[in-house]
Amino acid sequence: MEYWGSIEKPIVLLGCAYLSWKIVRHIWSFLNIEKDPITVLVTGAAGQIGYALVPMIARGAMLGLDQPVIIHMLDIEPAAESLKGVKMELIDAAFPLLKDVVATTDVVEACKGVNVAVMVGGFPRKEGMERKDVMTKNVSIYKAQASALEQHAAPDCKVLVVANPANTNALILKEFAPSFPAKNITCLTRLDHNRALGQVSEKLNVHVGDVKNVTIWGNHSSTQYPDVNHATVKTAAGEKPVRELVANDQWLNTEFITTVQQRGAAIIKARKLSSALSAASSACDHIRDWVLGTPKGTWVSMGVYSDGSYGIPAGLIYSFPVTCEKGEWSIVQGLKIDEFSKAKMDATAKELVEEKSLAYSCLN
């Protein structure tokens, strides 16, 4: 009996623990396999951002490492062959989470049954074009896509507009998909948010994951206002305000802001191409937090339909600090806004009002 207690009993217990672990792991794997796939639409999928984005979605960066996906890719007819090549590469990569791929130039086929729509396709401004010319082209594109989404997407479809002018393109889409809930149409300012986090982490020589609660207010343009007044950094002594640690208001109120505002132009100058990898990664961040939720005590920046919070005119798609829970976003309320910040927030709102007027004149 003494021998049994000292040797066999621990071995049996270890064996039982191992079998229990194997059973739990098997059940967990089974549950993962049985998850219904989520269908994600990417427009402009043959372009730079689309090409960077679709493998991220297929790998689980957008919706989770246990969430199967079906990817619908849409592009214009001249890009059909390139789109076919992207589909071939997705198949060749053999992503375990990727259940199916549709590559099409038919907007109705692309929108059928989608749960998430990432609108990357748009008409870029070319040399010699006036802003109204670009807006007219995008009004036409988003009018057609809004109608197809409204008629053929899943009723609870979440829409993220990436193509510039992102805020106003999202507003046009909302105009032509009136049955879509306003809360389901957003635009991407997470790229600017992430750029602001990156600049703070570089300045303080801390890991970017230790910085939180920067805010991007307003338009995804050079008038946006990157705000660190409520941002903090995790340190050995607890969370500390960014302003306290940087200890340089001059830098935070000037160079920091312009660096974030003009980061896209700086990347074009360096690469001779616009941001693609960072834009795709930020789109995944945006949707992931929207669907799966933001960590407690943390907010992110999203371009959402204004309800008049912080004195911003209602009816604009404006970037606010938001938290997300159970697939819904909520604007963070009660943040103290100083005069400097209010002036910046109002200036970017003014630009969005002007863009809205221009877009509506194109409609007429």
Sequence ranges of the binding site for NAD(+): 44-50, 75, 138, 162-164
For the annotated binding site for substrate, the residues are 125, 131, 164, 195
Closest alpha carbon to 43 in 193, 129, 146, 125: 146
d(CA 182, CA 178): 8
- Of these residues, 72, 220, 230, 286, which one is catalytic? 220
- Show the tokens assigned to 155: 């009723």
Query: How do beta strands 116-119 and 158-161 pair?
Result: parallel
Number of Cβ within 10 Å of residue 45's Cβ equals 29
d(CA 93, CA 103): 16
Backbone angles phi, psi at 161, to 5 degrees: -95, 125
Closest alpha carbon to 45 in 86, 77, 78, 81: 86
DSSP at 13: H
User: Could you give the count of Cα atoms lying within 13 Å of 204 in the half-sphere of its Cβ?
Assistant: 26
For the annotated binding site, the residues are 44-50, 75, 125, 131, 138, 162-164, 195
Are 54 and 86 within 8 A, CB to CB?
Answer: yes
| 207 is annotated as an active-site residue | no
- Show the tokens assigned to 189: 């300012």
> Which residues belong to the active site?
220
